[in-house]
């Protein structure tokens, strides 16, 4: 004999689904979220078709649908970061943080300097790859030492934008690792702290749309 106060099965299902939905929204908004790479601006670190997990909390917590950030934390030089695109707030961008508040960033002759010190480059060879529109390109591969953070970049013999920028308080200078195929802070300026979404952590899936195959060697790759 059932109790008069026993919940109907349908109500238990609805309550369980609501709890799951709230947990999923909370985790996606404040802990970890998926992100797909749509362009070649971060090759060779990130490829078109890479799917990432992005940690939401390293830079503080953004209130969904607002520019309000609580418990803000400063990014580190060298972080691969996701942020709200300053020229179109409906989009998220992913680039490498090369300048933190107070830094003087100089980009000249396709070489990066921070606070008057040129970041060392070691040539590693050549790299051919497909652009998002299907055209092919070839660039030199270099290992760059960005204040102790070693990572690979693509570059040619010429720059697409030179200049010197002083990063203001509460802002960052972000540049793509594919230095000749990236629209970044060299063009549109600085990223406000409140626009910082999270730090890229790991590649959980990677699909090569040009070859129609999985890039098995990229699965589980921890980003640096």
Out of 16, 29, 36, 95, pick the active-site residue.
95
Looking at residue 5, what DSSP letter applies? T
- 19 phi, psi to nearest 5 deg: -65, -45
**Other C-beta atoms lying within 10 Å of the C-beta of residue 128:** 8
Domains of the chain are 31-218 (2.10.109.10)
Over residues 162-177, mean pLDDT: 98
Q: List for the chain the helix, strand, coil content (%; round to 5).
A: 15, 40, 45
Residue 151 in tokens: 């990572």
Over residues 61-81, mean pLDDT: 86
Q: What is the mean pLDDT of the chain?
A: 90
pLDDT value at residue 2: 46
pLDDT tens sequence across 185-213: 999 999 999 999 999 999 999 999 989 99
pLDDT value at residue 81: 98
pLDDT value at residue 17: 73
Out of 2, 16, 29, 41, pick the active-site residue.
41
The CA distance from 163 to 181, in Å, is 17
Active site residue 91: no
Active site residue 41: yes
Instruction: With cut-offs at 50, 70 and 90, classify the pLDDT of residue 4.
Output: low
pLDDT value at residue 90: 92
- DSSP symbols for 155-168: E-SS-S--EEEEPP
Residue 77 in tokens: 């030089």
**Other C-beta atoms lying within 10 Å of the C-beta of residue 36:** 12
């Amino acid at each position: 004999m059932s109790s008069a106060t026993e919940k109907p099965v349908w109500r238990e299902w609805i309550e369980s689904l609501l709890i799951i939905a709230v947990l999923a929204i909370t985790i996606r908004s404040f802990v970890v979220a998926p992100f797909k790479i749509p362009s070649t601006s971060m090759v060779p670190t990130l490829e078109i078709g890479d799917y990432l997990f992005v940690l939401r909390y390293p830079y503080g917590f953004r209130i969904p649908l607002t520019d309000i950030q609580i418990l803000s934390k400063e990014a580190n030089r060298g972080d691969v970061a996701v942020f709200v695109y300053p020229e179109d707030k409906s989009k998220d961008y992913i680039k490498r943080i090369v300048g933190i508040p107070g830094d003087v960033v100089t980009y000249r002759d396709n070489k990066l300097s921070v606070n008057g010190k040129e970041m060392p480059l070691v040539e590693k060879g050549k790299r051919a790859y497909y652009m998002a529109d299907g055209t092919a390109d070839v660039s030199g591969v270099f290992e760059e030492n960005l204040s102790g953070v070693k990572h690979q970049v693509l570059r040619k013999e010429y720059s697409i934008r030179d200049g010197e920028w002083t990063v203001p308080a509460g802002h960052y200078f972000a540049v793509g690792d594919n230095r000749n195929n990236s629209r970044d802070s060299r063009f549109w300026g600085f990223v406000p702290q409140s626009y910082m979404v999270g730090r890229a952590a790991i590649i959980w899936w990677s699909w090569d749309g040009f070859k129609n195959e999985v890039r098995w060697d990229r699965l589980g790759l921890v980003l640096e």
